[in-house]
Amino acid sequence: MSFENGEATLSGGATRLWSRRNFGGLAGYAGIWLFLAIFLIYPLIRLFYDAFTDDANAFTLMNFSDFFTDTYYLKATINSLLLGVATVITTSLIGIPFAFLLLRYEFPGRGLFSYLSIIPMIMPPLVGVMGFVFIMGRAGTVNVILMDYLGFAKPVNFMYGIHGVLIVETLHLFPLMTLSIVDAMGKISPSLDEAAESVGSRGLRKFWDITFPLTTPGYVAGALLVFIWTFADFATPLVVGIDDLLASQAYLNIVQFVDRRLFKMGIVISAIMILLAIVFLIVAKRYVAQKDYSSLSYSVIERRTLSTAGNIGVVVFLSSVLIAAFIPYFGIILDSFGKGWALTPFPVKYTMQYFERVSIETPKFILNSLLYSGISVAICIVFGVPIAWVMARTKLPGRDTLDSLTTLILALPGTGIGIAYLRAFRDPFPFTETALIGMWLVIPIVLGIRRLPYTVRGTFASLLIVHKSFEEAAESVGAKKTVTFKDVTLPLIWKGVLVGSLYSFILALQEASATLLLVVPGHEMMPVGIFNFYMGGSVNEAAALGLILIVLGAVCLFAINKITGAKAGGVFG
Amino acid sequence: MKKVLIVAVLFTAMVFGCLGTGNAQTIENELYLITPVSKDVHDPVLKAFAEYAKKKFNVDVKTSAIPKGTPVAYGQIIEWKGNPQADIFWGGEGTLFDDLAAQGLLEKIQLPKKMWDEIPESIGKPVPLPLKDPKQFWVGTMLEPYGIIYQPKLVKRLGVEIKDWDDLLNPKLKGQIAQCTPDRSSSSHATVEVVLMTHGWEKGWDWMRKLAANTGIFTARSRDVPSVVAKGEFAVGFGVPSYMAFAEVLGGYDVMYVYPSNAYVTPEPMSVLKGAPHAKAAHAFIEFLLSEDGQKLISQLGVYPVTPKYKVQGAPGSNQEKAVAFTGGMRSFFDIQVGNVYNVQQAGDKKRIEDVNSYFRKEITEKHKDIVKEK
Amino acid sequence: MNIELKDIVKSFGSLEAVSHVSLDIKDGELFTLLGPPGCGKTTILRLIGGFHEANSGRILFDGKPVMGKPPYERNIGMVFQNYALWPHMTNAENVAYGLKIKKVPRNEIVERVNHALGKVNLEGLGDRYPGQLSGGQQQRVALARALVLNPGVLLLDEPLSNLDAKIRLQVRAEIRKLQKDLGITTVYVTHDQEEALTLSDRIAVLNHGELQQVGTPWELYERPANPFVADFIGINNLIPGEIRETEDNGKRAKVATKFGVLLGACDSRLKIGDKCTVCVRPETAAIGERKNGASENMIPGAISFASFIGNTMRYDIDIGENTILRVDIQNPRNHSPHDIGDKVNVVFSTATTLAIPS
């Protein structure tokens, strides 16, 4: 992995750039670009091409004019934006205090809370909303108790409607916000906070004037992720019967092939979603670029202790949020063991039959999940580590674009990518007979692309901490760049790479937006299996498979925690 | 590292490639369905077929199904352009199959003549419903009505009784009905057509609007309808295939089923796709399904044989007997007078399908909130 | 403001960062906490500022206990080592922020901010952001921010450590002048003994969390209380020995060493037979013959190293027993240099020779 570095070229003379040794490096760099060009840029271009052409491949703006003159789609657009903004607000209201309390205060159970606060993240799509419905639905535990024991005439509608989507997204995504803030706060020198105290600023005032503004880059990054995630989620709205959102419309229209006009609208909606995501990304980047205050000083601030009342207040707040966030877990556990559970607070009969069915009859879901997530992580490492290295250590042309591209991936809605792939790879490659769509390989590739940013960021962050002089020292005693990377850089950054990869792995395990559209028969992964079980009426099996997936995710998370100690937010920034 | 990746890809490709090749054989060792027929039925059938193939051809067939709603599956098959990733299309309305056949995307069914002839041409009065394609591009595989499912506990609490379609318009059911949309589900589509053909276009839509006023959820897929009713989330489900309701009973849920007047009875057509990667296995599968063993198997799952000589019958307490009890004592569709108003030619017209779907989308789903408010 | 620390202990986990330290900082003085990295000096400063709470002991501001009070209730002004200027505020906003918190009227804020920036020679730079200033300028903004509130005590945490040598000298002089002008009690933390000597009214020397000595720069230099202070402040030749006999009421002593008996001033704590350390400053020693008889000590040796540093000629002289004595010949213009290996005598006045407890 030897990429020539601009500075070295200057000092070493022009001939070095073209020495044989560098040829391999440049070829590798070209390989990275080729990979991104084929599997990221081309599908997106193809999607836009389709959106701007009619069935006869002639250029047209009709599709967009259809979209923008249809009040229903406009309503869906506004609803999606509002839902995204609302989720950002609610996750902020929960996520920011969480981050602040966990970082700055000492209270009973702080360690436990900080571990538990990440757990809601590992809830796979669809499973979360299922779990909520089991507990909070019209016939869920809470309503059954309200009606059968507390005399309510009608169930309280917690779930069915846009507010249900908001509840599910909020309790699923607030950890993303917490992690982003924790990460950002960790990078801010504590003396900035102390300086504020020394001039008399304290409490909320200090938070609003000093602490929060300094964490804006992290906050904006977290907010963007939350926004895009909500924006792109179609599973949750569909379960609670909400159709008038962009992601739902994109999904419903694209899987509906009968009416070509609707199908085309699915493509157009995906293109519009991607465009909107890119706009938000650019705005966020602009904003963050002006305000990067991180000092990379990971010094620790002394945690404040609280009064007894303060302790109680904090523990009650954190516990109630976490209990709410864990509702789907209770629901999933009950439903995966409960037989024929309906209209009683808890299942009356318990069984292992669902687990037997999913684990004995369809172990392929689990195997496929592990295998494809594994391959996708390999892809992430093979391409992500060099990309991070190029970004951190070289002045190669195109490195800024690499940075933008990997960030762009974070903002791309999974549905959009899935649809772009569907359009881009349905024809066979040149000189071959099979199209990528329909080969199992498409699944790990799309997962790899989708999760690439986590590896890139994890590695990049580690590389920033490893001072360049370590590498220069190795080179000064005669090690070539390749050897230096292997013997010096890699041992110093492997933790960052590993953590980034584990995150990629967890998220790959749970991916069900792009992969759901690209399903290859016989090669379904667990989330697709969950979807198939659920859609096929086997809700209990879906819950059982969901529970297995959650446990897998929790194991990975535990591993991350073991590896990194407490600091796990870095790759989310 | 690039090299390593290529090697890794080649290696995994080899490993997986090996699984796909084998010795000369009578049928291929894989079989893929694309089907709206839910897991409740396709899973046991595929499993039984794998055993059958092992016995008859000594082949271990790897089977899998791509579960898609009928319209979606139909569109997917067109999208494959004759290079399908599945072998068999199973389920839904016969008209879509005729359409695919016209596009040259289906292969003719290869069945022993006796087996083919045992299946009647059609069923139902006053309008006959075809059970097989005279051109032999598709064949019916089993019979079941698209009717009404309800949660007895909830329905009792609400103080309503469900006997026929019109009972669904009772204002006491406000917010309690679950249905799917016709562009996502052929059972919804067919049931909407039944309503339209019973009442006529204008009055039929009025009826659907009244139903919408009572509707609490338009589910993402037709199979969700019985699920949410079984769970008790909603009291009544509209346009539900009987076997799906029966699957909930087998799953331990307390649900009841109504076969309302003139409900659409589907023969769940089956075809082999043109260019199917495992065509031999596909034809073997159809033959198996229409054999006595196949028809017996499905009769345990809440659907009815498509061949008059097979009846739903079993030992007391068996699933067959439960199914019979569930649909009010019926043992075969050929034992009763099947009422039908559904006109295949009319409903199968492509323009008509799009008209119904887009009318439903524009006037029912998109205006659902307003309809609920008005009523 | 007068600040008293009484028997302060502060631990971080099992590490005792400050161990039973008592200090009395007088009103208006510039008091320096000096010591090597990790000696606890910054911890003491932060204890005074209220950023840490002591495990035990008392801190009094003008006789009133402040333990448990947060920083904003202590009327302090603090300048942090990395300046800690808020990057999202302009310089003027940085300075104004504390006044805004105290709800000072807007026009008064403007006036006081301008005044404070003027005091540190930063007129006209208020609208810029800290990132647009040089290190020295940032330091002055931090100073202005601390001073604008008219604090009772100014706390400076290694304020010059991030500046380059030339600017350091300049800012050092400015700080001293500003402090004298304002007459504000100032606690100054540094590890640079030269900085401490030039700036301070009084210095507390710390090592391993323990207080070594408190005194004026003069006292510390001339009368170090122990070998650590003797060695840490300035350059010193330290020779171990034992008190043989005392004279002049214990003010002078004869000390037996491996290099003969040396005569010098004696720390009052020493008695006959005590182990002690003899200190000889390089600039008080000379090379040559004893001229004044008994008023000078003499140790023979050989030149092992010589270096010329402009105003000084510095010799390292090997006197045996693995011991090197350093001799500085100041203003060496008329000095004829010795070669390495030359046998010479080191002579030093008994008046500048000091015996202190080991």
Confidence of residue A476 (pLDDT cuts 50, 70, 90): confident
Which residue of C78, C81, C87 is in closest CB contact with A198?
C78
Count how many Cα atoms sit within 13 Å of the Cα of residue C52 in the half-sphere of its side chain: 22
CA nearest to C153 within chain A? A198
Q: Is the pLDDT of residue B18 over 50?
A: no
The pLDDT assigned to A300 comes to 54
Tell me if A189 and C82 make a contact (CB, 8 A cut-off). yes
Same domain, residue pair A53 and A95: no
- Distance from C-alpha of A21 to C-alpha of A114, rounded to nearest angstrom: 48
Same domain, residue pair A430 and A497: yes
The pLDDT assigned to B289 comes to 95
Same domain, residue pair A290 and A371: no
Confidence of residue A6 (pLDDT cuts 50, 70, 90): very low
Confidence of residue A81 (pLDDT cuts 50, 70, 90): very high
% residues pLDDT > 90 (chain B): 64
Same domain, residue pair A279 and A378: no
Tell whether A371 is covered by a domain. yes
For range A377-385, the mean pLDDT: 91
Chosen for mutation from A197, A198, A211 (greatest number of chain C CBs closer than 10 Å) is A198
Same domain, residue pair A298 and A393: no
Which residue of A192, A201, A216 is in closest CB contact with C72?
A201
Q: Nearest CA to B8 among A484, A363, A1, A383? A: A383
Mean pLDDT of chain B: 88
Least confident range of A110-114, C42-46, C215-219: A110-114
Give the tokens for residue B346: 């009319």
Find the domain containing A278 and state its range.
Answer: 82-333
Q: Please indicate if any CB of chain B lies within 8 Å of the CB of A486.
A: no
For range B139-152, the mean pLDDT: 94
The pLDDT assigned to A9 comes to 36
Q: Is the pLDDT of residue C22 over 50?
A: yes
Q: Nearest CA to B128 among B269, B267, B302? A: B267
- From residue A227, give the alpha-carbon distance in Å to each of A81, A84, A276, C174: 8, 5, 11, 52
**For B45-52, which contacts have Cβ atoms below 8 Å and span 24 or more sequence positions?**
B45/B289, B45/B294, B45/B297, B45/B298, B48/B288, B48/B293, B48/B294, B48/B297, B49/B284, B49/B285, B49/B288, B49/B289, B52/B288, B52/B293
Confidence of residue B220 (pLDDT cuts 50, 70, 90): confident
Least confident range of A251-255, A317-321, B103-107: A251-255
Count of structural domains, chain A: 2
Residue C346 pairs in a beta bridge with C287, C299
Segment 97-126 of chain C within 8 Å of chain A by CB? 97-98, 101-102
Same domain, residue pair A392 and A469: yes
Chosen for mutation from B155, B233, B278, B351 (greatest number of chain A CBs closer than 10 Å) is B233
For range B170-197, the mean pLDDT: 93
Tell me the shortest Cα–Cα distance from B215 to chain A, in angstroms.
11
The pLDDT assigned to C161 comes to 84
Burial class of B163 by CB neighbour count within 10 A (0 to 12, 13 to 18, 19+): exposed
Stronger pLDDT, C295 or C179, i.e. the higher one: C179
For range C202-227, the mean pLDDT: 94
Chain A residues closer than 8 Å to B244 by CB:
537
The pLDDT assigned to A520 comes to 77
For range B201-205, the mean pLDDT: 96
Same domain, residue pair A401 and A255: no
Stronger pLDDT, B194 or A415, i.e. the higher one: B194
The pLDDT assigned to A431 comes to 67
Q: Is the pLDDT of residue A16 over 50?
A: no
Q: Is the pLDDT of residue A89 over 90?
A: yes
Amino acid in position A16: R
Q: Please indicate if any CB of chain B lies within 8 Å of the CB of A540.
A: yes
Chain A residues closer than 8 Å to B62 by CB:
522
Amino acid in position A178: T
Tell me the shortest Cα–Cα distance from A570 to chain C, in angstroms.
22
**pLDDT tens digit sequence for B39-72:** 889 989 999 999 999 999 999 999 988 888 787 7
Confidence of residue A291 (pLDDT cuts 50, 70, 90): low
For range B287-309, the mean pLDDT: 92
The pLDDT assigned to C324 comes to 92
Least confident range of A8-22, A186-200, B16-30, C265-279: A8-22
Same domain, residue pair A53 and A99: no
Tell whether A340 is covered by a domain. no
For range A190-219, the mean pLDDT: 84
For range A536-555, the mean pLDDT: 88
Same domain, residue pair A368 and A308: no
Q: Is the pLDDT of residue B15 over 70?
A: no
Q: Is the pLDDT of residue A537 over 90?
A: no
Tell me if C82 and A209 make a contact (CB, 8 A cut-off). no
Q: Find the radius of gyration of the CA atoms of chain A.
A: 25
Q: Is the pLDDT of residue A363 over 70?
A: yes
**pLDDT tens digit sequence for B350-375:** 889 889 998 999 999 989 989 998 86
The pLDDT assigned to B7 comes to 47
Range of B371-375, C18-22, C308-312 with top mean pLDDT: C18-22
Tell me if A198 and C86 make a contact (CB, 8 A cut-off). no
Range of A55-59, C160-164, C228-232 with top mean pLDDT: C228-232
Q: Which chains touch B (3 or more CB pairs under 8 A)?
A: A
For range A137-165, the mean pLDDT: 91
% residues pLDDT > 90 (chain C): 57
Same domain, residue pair A471 and A509: yes
Which residue of A195, A201, A216 is in closest CB contact with C78?
A195
Angle subtended at Cα C13 by Cα C11 and Cα C17, rounded to the nearest 5 degrees: 30
Tell me if C101 and A200 make a contact (CB, 8 A cut-off). yes
Q: Which chains touch C (3 or more CB pairs under 8 A)?
A: A
Confidence of residue A301 (pLDDT cuts 50, 70, 90): low
The pLDDT assigned to A93 comes to 94
The pLDDT assigned to B24 comes to 41
Least confident range of A403-412, B11-20, C131-140: B11-20
**pLDDT tens digit sequence for C102-123:** 889 999 999 999 999 998 888 8
Tell whether A2 is covered by a domain. no
Q: What is the CATH number of the domain that holds A211?
A: 1.10.3720.10
Q: Is the pLDDT of residue A14 over 90?
A: no
Confidence of residue A202 (pLDDT cuts 50, 70, 90): confident
Stronger pLDDT, C106 or A200, i.e. the higher one: C106
CA nearest to B36 within chain A? A536
Stronger pLDDT, A181 or A496, i.e. the higher one: A181
- Distance from C-alpha of A142 to C-alpha of A137, rounded to nearest angstrom: 8
- Residue B132 gets which letter from DSSP? B
Tell whether A121 is covered by a domain. yes
Tell me if B248 and A537 make a contact (CB, 8 A cut-off). yes
Angle subtended at Cα B29 by Cα B23 and Cα B35, rounded to the nearest 5 degrees: 160
Q: Is the pLDDT of residue C239 over 80?
A: yes
Tell me if C146 and A198 make a contact (CB, 8 A cut-off). yes
**pLDDT tens digit sequence for A19-36:** 455 677 788 889 999 999
For range A239-262, the mean pLDDT: 83
Tell me if A133 and B226 make a contact (CB, 8 A cut-off). no
What is the three-class DSSP state of A204? helix
Chosen for mutation from A23, A248, A255, A427 (greatest number of chain B CBs closer than 10 Å) is A255
For range C5-26, the mean pLDDT: 92
Tell me the shortest Cα–Cα distance from B280 to chain A, in angstroms.
18
Tell me the shortest Cα–Cα distance from A319 to chain C, in angstroms.
29
Chain C residues closer than 8 Å to A297 by CB:
82
Same domain, residue pair A169 and A222: yes
Give pTM, 2 decimals: 0.80
Tell whether A529 is covered by a domain. yes
Tell whether A11 is covered by a domain. no
Q: Nearest CA to A251 among A61, A66, A513? A: A513
**pLDDT tens digit sequence for A383-432:** 998 898 888 888 888 888 888 888 888 878 888 888 889 888 887 777 66
Amino acid in position C241: G
- Distance from C-alpha of A447 to C-alpha of A516, rounded to nearest angstrom: 11
CA nearest to C89 within chain A? A210
Least confident range of A67-76, A325-334, B21-30, C216-225: B21-30
Give all strands (DSSP E) within chain B, no chain letters. 30-35, 62-67, 88-90, 106-107, 122-123, 125-126, 129-130, 139-140, 142-150, 177-180, 215-219, 236-241, 256-258, 265-266, 269-273, 304-305, 339-340
**Going by beta carbons, is chain B in contact with chain C, meaning 3 or more pairs sit under 8 Å apart?**
no
- Distance from C-alpha of B17 to C-alpha of C190, rounded to nearest angstrom: 71
Q: Is the pLDDT of residue A18 over 60?
A: no
CB atoms within 10 A of CB C339: 7
Q: Is the pLDDT of residue C244 over 60?
A: yes
Residues 6+ apart with CB under 8 A from C340: C303, C304, C305, C306
CA nearest to B231 within chain A? A342
Which residue of C71, C81, C86 is in closest CB contact with A198?
C71
CB C236 within 8 Å of CB C230: yes
Q: What domains can be seen in chain B, in order of their start residue?
A: 7-143+267-322 (3.40.190.10), 145-265+343-374 (3.40.190.10)
Tell whether A74 is covered by a domain. no
Tell me if A343 and B232 make a contact (CB, 8 A cut-off). yes
For range B85-108, the mean pLDDT: 90
Tell whether A10 is covered by a domain. no
Angle subtended at Cα A233 by Cα A232 and Cα A238, rounded to the nearest 5 degrees: 135
Stronger pLDDT, B294 or A25, i.e. the higher one: B294
Confidence of residue A180 (pLDDT cuts 50, 70, 90): confident
Same domain, residue pair A386 and A274: no
